[in-house]
């Protein structure tokens, strides 16, 4: 598969999953967290899905396209491994993380801390959506939409 096709499938998986869980997230209290703002595409989609919800984005630096940039009070800059810890206990309704690199060795390091952070920021029943698998005893894997190939993206519910 070409890198372009892989990129399209990843973004389609994100969209299909986020659209699929939107009603459930709307029924929950708590902020929405975006770990990995990037250029702001997914953040912008989250704003459309949840216009009345606080959405906090995390990244190393602010590189989002102008209209897709969060307000200063909803943007947390620095190493996500450290900055997201400040939101542990935030009882988020949704936490989305698309911070995988595609390099097994680098992603293995991320997976030493990401599952704990994702479980920690969510409230009971909150949803974690991730491009990396999140093995954690407090996170229950959920089935993917039929449009998403197994292993492409992951959904979990906080127990």
Domain residue limits, the chain = 3-61+70-158
Separation of alpha carbons 154 and 22, rounded Å: 15
Q: Measuring CA to CA, how many Å separate 32 from each of 2, 24, 45, 49, 141? A: 32, 12, 12, 11, 19
pTM of the model: 0.96
Mean pLDDT, the chain, whole residue set: 96
Predicted confidence (pLDDT) per residue in 101-123, tens digit: 989 999 999 999 999 999 999 99
CATH-assigned architecture of domain 3-61+70-158: 3-Layer(aba) Sandwich (3.40)
CA-CA-CA-CA torsion for 116, 158, 77, 32, nearest 10 degrees? 180
pLDDT of residue 1: 87
Q: What is the pLDDT of residues 15-61, one digit of tens each?
A: 999 999 999 999 999 999 999 999 999 999 999 999 999 999 999 99
158 phi and psi, to 5 degrees? -75, 125
């Amino acid at each position: 598969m070409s890198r372009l096709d892989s990129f399209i499938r990843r973004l389609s998986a994100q969209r299909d999953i986020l659209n699929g869980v939107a009603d459930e997230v709307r029924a929950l209290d708590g902020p929405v967290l975006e770990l990995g703002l990037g250029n702001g595409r997914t953040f912008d989609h989250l704003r459309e899905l949840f216009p009345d919800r606080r959405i906090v984005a995390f990244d190393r630096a602010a590189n989002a396209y102008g209209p897709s940039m969060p307000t200063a009070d909803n943007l947390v800059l620095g190493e996500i491994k450290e900055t997201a810890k400040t939101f542990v206990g935030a009882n988020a309704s949704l936490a989305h993380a698309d911070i995988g690199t595609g390099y097994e060795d680098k992603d293995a390091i991320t997976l030493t801390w990401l599952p704990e952070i994702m479980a920690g920021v969510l409230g009971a029943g909150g949803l974690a959506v991730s491009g990396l698998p999140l093995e954690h005893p407090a996170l229950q894997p959920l089935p993917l939409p039929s449009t998403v190939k197994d292993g492409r993206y992951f959904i979990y519910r906080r127990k």
